């Protein structure tokens, strides 16, 4: 069974990126995946303290909701990250969740440990969904660099990104001619690709 993790990064409930994520998860489910979802703002996730503990231990000293998050980000076959642009980057809550993967980076790069299952690693895929208010597609440049590294650290290959600008108002994404359909299709297609990659039969 293909396991997909949806990460809803925005503090605005039912906002643009949450709507896109819901559609992508519906698409993933329709292709036969099981779904887990993290609503970042409903979880107790502290920012990284930069204490350096993880450089030797490979683990984080802080005790909060991240333990469950690591379990999901490291074992899911696909990750769908949905987050808005704040000040030309990801919003702070999403960035905190990403920064807290420094211990995963340390395990992999400093301690040379396997962080993901070598039998299924090749099939891991990531989808990034984002919206921004500005009338300028370059507004995503900073966030794209962050997500690229997040996926790379997690042994996740980029499947696709769906970025919609001119989306200031809550729900604006519903007025876009294709955004929600695109998100559904991306979720569905990502699962199909993961299944293919895992060597399963797809109709």
Binding-site ranges for ligand FMN (CB under 6 A)? 10, 12, 15-18, 84-88, 131-134, 139, 167-168, 170
- Sign of the CA dihedral 104, 76, 132, 97? negative
Q: In this complex, which beta carbon is closest to ligand FMN, that of residue 68 or of residue 174?
A: 174
CB 154 within 8 Å of CB 187: no
CB of 179 to ligand FMN, least distance (A): 11
Q: In this complex, which beta carbon is closest to ligand FMN, that of residue 94 or of residue 160?
A: 94
Q: In this complex, which beta carbon is closest to ligand FMN, that of residue 122 or of residue 138?
A: 138
C-beta nearest to ligand FMN: residue: 15
Tokens of 80: 């769908």
Q: In this complex, which beta carbon is closest to ligand FMN, that of residue 76 or of residue 131?
A: 131
The strand ranges marked E within 138-190 are 157-164
Distance CA 139, CA 128 (A): 15
CB of 136 to ligand FMN, least distance (A): 7
CB 128 within 8 Å of CB 179: no
CB of 171 to ligand FMN, least distance (A): 8
- CA-nearest of 57, 32, 9, 41 to 193 is 32
CB of 53 to ligand FMN, least distance (A): 31
């Amino acid at each position: 069974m293909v396991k997909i993790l949806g990460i809803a990064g925005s503090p605005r409930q039912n906002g643009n990126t949450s709507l896109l994520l819901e559609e992508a998860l519906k698409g993933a489910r329709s292709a036969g995946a099981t779904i887990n979802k993290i609503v970042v703002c409903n979880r107790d996730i502290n920012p990284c303290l930069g204490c350096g503990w993880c450089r030797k231990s490979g683990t984080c000293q802080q005790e909060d909701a991240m333990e469950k998050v690591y379990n999901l980000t490291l074992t899911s076959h696909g990750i769908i990250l949905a987050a808005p642009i704040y000040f030309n980057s990801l919003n702070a809550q999403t960035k905190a969740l990403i920064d807290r993967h420094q211990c995963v980076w340390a395990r992999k790069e400093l301690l040379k440990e396997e962080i993901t299952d070598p039998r299924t690693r090749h099939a891991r895929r990531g989808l990034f969904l984002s919206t921004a208010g500005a009338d300028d597609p370059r507004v995503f440049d900073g966030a794209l660099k962050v997500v690229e590294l997040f996926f790379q650290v997690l042994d996740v290959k980029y499947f696709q990104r769906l970025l919609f600008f001119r989306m200031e108002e809550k729900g604006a994404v519903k007025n876009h001619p294709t955004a929600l359909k695109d998100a559904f299709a991306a979720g569905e297609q990502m699962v199909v690709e993961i299944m293919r990659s895992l060597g399963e039969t797809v109709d």
